[in-house]
């Protein structure tokens, strides 16, 4: 149901169809029925004495319900600095199983407390368009596993294979960020690898919150070094003062990544990048082969990576700009 709304929401936002309030009421009614039924099922289950006083969150999944074979190379989907992703099964459904290889849990309850806020936030907006559907996290095992919707690829590879899809993909990407910001969620790690494409050819933003918590358990700085290429100067210098403008800068860098099929500042070392982003002018170059009809997209990119956060547009400004220029860029 949640993904079935994506096409409807996009068509409404582009003014291709009128908003159907009766349809939206039916969807809301179905959600209430599902929530009521889920609550009734949870309340009917008995809780062992050993678990008395321990709250079972809806995102906590049993590892018995998830299956994947790390030895089967055909199921391998990708690897990051702290996790490996495999194609797996959850109650017979194809899913992505992310195994946090660098985390060995001595106390699962402590880890559950650490990730609860991020996972709950993700779960709460999983129904929103262009956000990856979270199924849950298996924590009662030595190496935890995150289970989510299975996607076909990421946005950079998708546009590489289907260059004509760049505009709808960028537009959906912006709408996904809007879903996050409306829910008071700031991603802080936007890049091509974290913007997936479903088998319905729609964007699904992934990996907000939990990645930072997971890495913090290792007491390392991998997350900073791994995402510096997409990181705003104020995030690099004063990461505690979190604002939505972090994501706008990263959105601009990811747009550059998409149209150039390279990581921003790919030929620079960490020190060179940190110096460049603190200037007003040292930004990735405009591609020589950029089509003339995509000039408005380049203008948007340059707006997003302004040094001063207040000079950058909001995500709603970005969406409005794309909608007003989409016919010129098509």
Cβ-proximal residues to 292 (8 Å cutoff; 6+ apart), any chain: none
Determine the 3-state secondary structure of 179 from DSSP: helix
Which of 154, 150, 224, 160 has its CA nearest to residue 193? 154
Please state whether beta strands 76-79 and 84-90 pair in parallel, antiparallel, or not at all (unpaired). antiparallel
Phi, psi for residue 97 in degrees, rounded to 5: -115, 110
DSSP 81: S
Tokens of 151: 């996607």
Residue 74 tokens, joined = 């055909």
Q: What is the C-alpha to C-alpha distance for residues 27 and 21, in angstroms, rounded to an integer?
A: 10
Residue 245 marked as a ligand binder: no
**146 beta partners:** 98, 137
Check residue 53 and give left, alpha or beta (phi > 0: left; psi -120 to 50: alpha): left
Q: What is the DSSP string of 76-114?
A: EEEE-SS-EEEEEEETTEEEEEEE-TT---S-HHHHHHH
Residue of 220, 192, 217 lying closest to 206 (CA atoms): 192
* Whole-angstrom distance, CA of residue 32 vs CA of residue 68: 33
> Which residues carry a binding-site annotation for ATP?
98
> Which residues carry a binding-site annotation?
98
């Amino acid at each position: 149901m949640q993904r079935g709304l994506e096409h409807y929401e996009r068509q409404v936002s582009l003014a291709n169809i009128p908003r159907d309030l009766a349809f939206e009421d039916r969807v809301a009614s179905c959600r209430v029925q599902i929530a009521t039924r889920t609550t009734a099922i949870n309340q009917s289950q008995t809780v062992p004495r050993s678990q008395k006083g321990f709250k079972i969150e809806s995102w906590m999944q049993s590892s018995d319900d998830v299956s994947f074979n790390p030895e089967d190379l055909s199921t391998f989907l990708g690897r990051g600095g702290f996790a490996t992703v495999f194609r797996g099964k959850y109650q017979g459904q194809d899913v992505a199983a992310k195994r946090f290889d660098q985390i060995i849990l001595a106390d699962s309850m402590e880890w559950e407390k650490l990730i609860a806020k991020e996972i709950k936030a993700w779960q709460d907006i999983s129904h929103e368009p262009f956000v990856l559907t979270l199924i849950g996290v298996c924590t009662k095992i030595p190496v935890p596993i995150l289970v989510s919707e299975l996607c076909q690829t990421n946005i950079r590879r998708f546009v590489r294979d289907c260059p004509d899809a760049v505009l709808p993909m960028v537009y959906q990407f912006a709408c996904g960020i809007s879903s996050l910001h409306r829910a008071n969620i700031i991603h802080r790690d936007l890049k091509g690898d974290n913007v997936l494409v479903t088998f319905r050819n729609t964007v699904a933003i992934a990996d907000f919150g939990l990645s930072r918590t997971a890495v913090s358990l290792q007491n390392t700085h991998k997350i900073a070094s791994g995402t510096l290429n997409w990181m705003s100067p104020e995030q690099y210098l004063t990461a505690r003062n979190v604002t939505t403008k972090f994501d706008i800068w990263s959105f601009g860098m990811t747009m550059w990544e998409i149209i150039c099929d390279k990581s921003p500042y790919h030929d620079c070392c960490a020190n060179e990048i940190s110096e460049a982003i603190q200037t007003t002018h040292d930004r990735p170059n405009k591609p020589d082969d950029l089509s003339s009809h995509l000039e408005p997209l380049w203008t948007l990119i340059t707006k997003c990576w302004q040094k001063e956060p207040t000079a950058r547009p909001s995500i709603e400004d970005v969406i409005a700009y794309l909608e007003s220029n989409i016919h010129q860029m098509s």
